[in-house]
């Protein structure tokens, strides 16, 4: 037996269902490689989670996605318990999830990002951000939850019910071109994937529905652009202070690369990009999961 690992999955963010699939795949891989595994479906009840984590496992595999599982909250909880966990710590997780703040950090080290404004929902109908199309997105969600592209002639002022992501919205410059993503494992970029989809953009359904997208790895890019995408991804990983695995998403307009965001808890579902890139780098899903457990740690 390789030790006791608790797999946290589910949660109560908009990405709950995806997290359940990720967690189940991780739990199976760990069991198959000789670990004792406790699967924990996390709900908004700290006392229940504390009870479920006793006796304290050797490690925690954090398979939560979205708010409260990916933004530093559960990481702080695990730091208090002193149990090592996979992926990034509190600060890196919080920075990566906060899109305006992470953009500021990226710009400081010379990474190109799309211009943006932070607006209230009401200001969307009054303010023109540059020229259309532009993208609106929540300030702190993942998996393209809440993302919309606003085209010329469109008017979009979401109601409070339509926009359950707080009172403010990020309006971002739309970058035409190709969708690229790079997984970083430790401080090593595994490769560059180009994502192609028949959807308007790489939205939630395109990410997680069978046939929603086609992943081309390695991406067919000029060598210098391919290498630059990997360099930017490693730089972003290090700049945020990420641990374990992260995934950088970017756009290539035929001239420049624009970093959109860094995911500190990339999906581990059957259609996920990181396991696919790991396979391209000759790393099996089981070895990927075990590596993450072996490199689990607390902050401090």
Report the catalytic residues. 15, 143, 208, 247, 249, 261, 263, 267
Structure tokens given for 162: 């339509």
**Cα–Cα distance measured from residue 264 to residue 242, given in angstroms and rounded to the nearest whole number:** 7
Torsion of CA 25, 18, 237, 89, to 10 degrees: -80
Structure tokens given for 166: 């707080």
Q: Please provide residue 51's backbone torsions phi and psi, each rounded to the nearest 5 degrees.
A: -65, -40
**Cα separations (Å) of 269 from 12, 29, 68, 197, 225?**
18, 12, 20, 18, 28
Structure tokens given for 47: 């006392």
**Cα–Cα distance measured from residue 127 to residue 239, given in angstroms and rounded to the nearest whole number:** 33
Which single residue is written with the structure tokens 């998403």? 249
Q: Tell me the three-class secondary structure of 32-73, residue by residue.
A: HCCCEEEEEEECCCHHHHHHHCCCCCCEEEECCCCCCCCCCH
């Amino acid at each position: 037996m390789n030790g006791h690992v608790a797999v946290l999955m589910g949660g109560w963010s908009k990405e709950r269902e995806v997290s359940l699939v990720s967690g189940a795949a991780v739990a199976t891989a760990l069991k198959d490689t000789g670990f004792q595994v406790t699967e924990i479906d996390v709900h908004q009840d700290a006392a229940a989670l504390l009870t479920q984590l006793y006796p304290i496992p050797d490690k925690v595999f954090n398979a939560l996605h979205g708010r409260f599982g990916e933004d530093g909250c559960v990481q702080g909880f695990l730091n208090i318990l002193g149990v090592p966990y996979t992926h990034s710590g509190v600060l890196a997780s919080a920075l990566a999830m906060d899109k305006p703040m992470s953009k500021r950090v990226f710009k400081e080290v010379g990474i190109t990002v799309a211009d943006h404004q932070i607006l209230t929902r009401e200001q969307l109908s009054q303010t023109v951000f540059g020229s259309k199309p532009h993208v609106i997105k929540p300030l702190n969600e993942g998996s393209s939850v809440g993302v919309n592209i606003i085209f010329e002639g469109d008017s979009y002022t979401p109601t409070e019910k339509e926009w359950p992501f707080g009172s403010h919205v990020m309006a971002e410059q739309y970058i035409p071109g190709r969708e690229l993503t790079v997984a970083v494992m430790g401080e090593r970029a595994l490769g560059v994937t180009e994502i192609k989809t028949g959807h308007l953009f790489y939205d939630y359904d395109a990410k997680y529905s069978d046939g929603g997208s086609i992943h081309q790895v390695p991406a067919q890019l000029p060598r210098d652009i391919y290498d630059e995408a990997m360099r930017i991804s490693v730089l972003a990983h290090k700049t945020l202070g990420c641990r374990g695995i992260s995934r950088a998403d970017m756009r290539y307009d035929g001239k420049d690369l624009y970093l959109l965001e860094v995911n500190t808890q990339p999906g581990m579902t059957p259609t996920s990009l990181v396991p696919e890139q790991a396979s391209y780098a000759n790393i099996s899903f089981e070895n990927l999961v075990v590596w993450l457990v072996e490199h689990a740690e607390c902050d401090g």
